[in-house]
Amino acid sequence: MVILNKIYTKTGDAGETALGNGARVAKHAMRVTAYGTTDELNSFVGVARLEAEGALDQQLERIQNDLFDLGADLCRPDMEKDAESEYPPLRVIASQVSRLEAEIDAMNSHLEPLRSFVLPGGARLAAALHVCRTVARRAERQTVELATMEAVNADAVKYLNRLSDWFFVAARMANNGGKDDVLWVPGANR
């Protein structure tokens, strides 16, 4: 259980922060950048939820919870010590990736195939979901970069990869099942 009874601690005033294992690192460290971007993404998902209803809102709520799982995963290095830990750290698992894939397939089954790239926009919800898609891609790039330096849970990377696809398909659904997608017209303004 998390108990937050004091919000400011002053421990980061010198430009360092604590990871989930207690280690102190620079606030600009790649690991902090990666999990910080997942937090940013979670905030944008919250904005998208202002426009979402029903099943889509419930799916977005699950994604927000998953993003906290992902942040907890990324803020805890030393994966090789997980099995030895008295309190094993929270890690993203394959079933979370599989759930996204199933939801993508279900949404995509209602959409016509694309004949062009889609411009971000259309309905307000679709535009918000496209912002989520691009922030998810940035979080994925940063997590992949982190993985070149330190051990990273492979399912965390897969989750981010599927998540950006999920947001793309969900944005198409929000655009009247893709009927109101704004399509790119190559060279239209030459």
pLDDT digits (tens, 9 = 90+) for 56-81: 999 999 999 999 999 999 998 876 66
In-domain check, residue 5: no
Q: How far apart are the C-alpha atoms of 129 and 126, rounded to whole Å?
A: 5
Sign of the alpha-carbon torsion through 152, 4, 50, 52: positive
Largest CA distance in the chain: 63
Q: How far apart are the C-alpha atoms of 16 and 10, rounded to whole Å?
A: 10
In-domain check, residue 10: no
Q: Report how many domains make up the chain.
A: 1
Residue among 149, 162, 159 nearest 70 (CA): 159
List the CATH number of the domain containing 98.
1.20.1200.10
**pLDDT on residue 19:** 75
Provide the pLDDT confidence category of residue 82 given band limits of 50, 70 and 90: low
Q: How far apart are the C-alpha atoms of 26 and 106, rounded to whole Å?
A: 42
Residue-number span of the structural domain to which 107 is assigned: 19-76+91-180
In-domain check, residue 4: no
In this prediction, residues 124-146 reach a mean pLDDT of: 98
Provide the pLDDT confidence category of residue 87 given band limits of 50, 70 and 90: confident
Q: How far apart are the first and last CA of the chain?
A: 58
Residue among 163, 153, 154, 150 nearest 30 (CA): 150
